[in-house]
A and B are shown apart, each in its own frame.
Chain A
Amino acid sequence: MNLANSITIELEGRKIKVPEGLTVIESLWDTGHDVKRGVGCLSGLCGACTVVYLEKDSKKVRFGLGCQKVIEDGLIVIMLPYFPSRVAHYLLTSMDSPLQHLAEIYSELYTCNDCKACNVCPEWIDVARVMKAAKDEDYETATNHITDCIMCGLCASRCPKGIAPQHVALFIQRALVVERLFPPNLHQRLSEMESLKFEQELARVAAMGTDELESYCHTLGEA
Chain B
Amino acid sequence: MYSGAMSDAIEKVNATRERRKLEQIALLPEEAAQKLLNSYHPDYRESAFRNLRVGVNCGARTTHEIADLLESFSDLDYTKIDLRPEYDTDVLVLGGGGAGATAALFAESNGARVMLATKLRLGNSNTIMAMGGMQVSVDERDSPVRHYCDTMAAGKFAGRECLVKALVNDGPQIVKWLLDIGVDFDRDAIGNLLTKKAGGISAPRLISIGDHTGLNIMKVLKDEIGMRDSIEVSEFTPAVELTTNEAGECNGAVLFDLGRKRHFVVRAKAVVLATGGSGRLHMQGFPTSNNFGATGDALVIAYRAGARLEGVDSFQYHPTGVMFPEHMVGVLVTEAIRSLGGHLLNAKGERFVNELETRDICAAAVIRECENGNGVMTRSGKGGVWLDTPLIEEISGKGVLRKRFPSLYRHLMRVKIDISKQPLLVFPTLHYQNGGILIDKNGETTVKNLFVAGEAAGGIHGRNRVMGNALLDIFVFGKRSGLAASEKRFNDPGKVTLTHVYSYYNMLKSLRISSVAKSPTLFPEFIVNKL
Contact = CB atoms under 8 A, between A and B. Distances in A.
Contact of B140 (A1, A174, A180, A188): A188
Interface string B98-131: 0000000000000000000000110111001100
A223 B191 contact: no
Contacts of B203: 222-223
Contacts of A177: 179, 182-184
Given A46-B123, A87-B226, A198-B143, A189 B410 contact: no
Contacts of A23: 327
A205 B159 CA distance: 14
Contacts of A221: 202
A48 interface: yes
Contact of B144 (A2, A198, A214, A222): A198
A26 B528 contact: yes
Interface stretch (B167-175, B305-313, B473-481): B167-175
B193 interface: yes
Interface residues of B, number: 83
A115 interface: no
Interface string B290-331: 011100000000000000000000000000000001111001
Interface in A122-143: 123-124, 143
A73 interface: no
B215 to A, nearest CB: 6
Contacts of A175: 182
Contacts of A213: 149, 152, 157
B272 interface: no
A174 B523 contact: no
B190 interface: yes
Contacts of B414: 68-70
Interface in A39-70: 39-46, 48, 67-70
B398 interface: no
A186 B176 contact: yes
Interface stretch (A7-15, A90-98, A106-114, A154-162): A90-98
A50 to B, nearest CB: 12
Interface residues of A, number: 74
A46 B202 contact: no
A5 B326 CA distance: 15
Interface string A175-196: 1111011111110111001000
Contact of B145 (A36, A90, A184, A202): A202
Contact of B407 (A123, A184, A207, A214): A123
A30 B406 contact: no
B191 A181 contact: yes
A45 B215 contact: yes
A68 to B, nearest CB: 6
B219 A151 contact: yes
A22 interface: yes
A46 B410 CA distance: 15
Given A40-B292, A43-B291, A193-B169, 7 more contacts: A22-B528, A26-B327, A123-B410, A170-B219, A183-B179, A185-B140, A201-B145
21 contacts: A22-B327, A36-B236, A40-B121, A40-B292, A41-B128, A43-B331, A70-B415, A87-B226, A147-B212, A147-B215, A148-B210, A177-B182, A178-B180, A185-B193, A193-B144, A193-B172, A202-B145, A202-B168, A206-B148, A214-B153, A220-B149
